[in-house]
Amino acid sequence: MDLAAITRKFLYYPDRLPKDLPPPKWARGAEEVWMECQDGVCIHGLWWGEPDGAPVILFLHGNAQEVYSWSLVREEMEPLGTRMLLIDYHGYGKSAGTPSEEALYLDGEAALKWLERRGVKKDEIILFGKSLGGAVACYLADGRRFRAVVLESTFTSLASVARKLFPFLPAGTPLGEEYPSIERIGRTRSPVLVIHGDADELIPLEEGIRLYEAAPYPKELFVVKGAGHNDVSLVAGEGYVGRIAQFLERTALLGEQ
């Protein structure tokens, strides 16, 4: 097994779903959707199309589970009053294919094209990337202007956190996957909100701070005290979605000036 294959084995933890399994009851209001990637692979997602005409959150989840499990985030984000598209990557849930860095980028591009066909413009899209999904968001945001980019618990590059994710590999081992997010976020034309827990043992807070420092203005950093890698919104409580809403309101006003 080559090093790239080893990296993928320990980086991606896809859960599969039966093709005929309907959305769970907590994903109320969701429509199952499919989109074809440039490599011909079809990926699966959930779409909440209400409120009609509202901005859209393109939610890019972490490296484990699938959209049925992740659909709980819809209720969490509902106070923002946005629509939402939640996608599964290659090999996750009902999506075909095998996950890899290149494949995840194709997934993100396919989601953007799907939204474009529904008449959604980029300045109406909020890219929301959680952990690994933040790296996909940074790829999509490179050189583009979206309504906003939200990065939660995200790393600057895979090499930067290799000792945490792959402690069994010798230091400096080429990984085959890169996700150079810190380079890409510096070239975005979008407002950026970085959210990170100060007790994150998997992706240290310093990673989030460096992403924030590399991002252009307007930008904000939201450090959640006591939060680890997977419990940021839980620890932040009601202030979590409120802080996101304030950021979106402030940057919307800047865009009107």
**Which positions are annotated as active-site residues?**
131, 200, 229
* Angle value at C-alpha 203, between 236 and 190, nearest 5 degrees: 70
Are the C-beta atoms of 86 and 70 separated by less than 8 Å? yes
Do residues 93 and 17 make contact, with C-beta atoms less than 8 angstroms apart?
yes
124 secondary structure, DSSP code = G
* CA torsion through residues 176, 58, 24, 131, sign: positive
192-197 vs 219-224, strand pairing mode = parallel
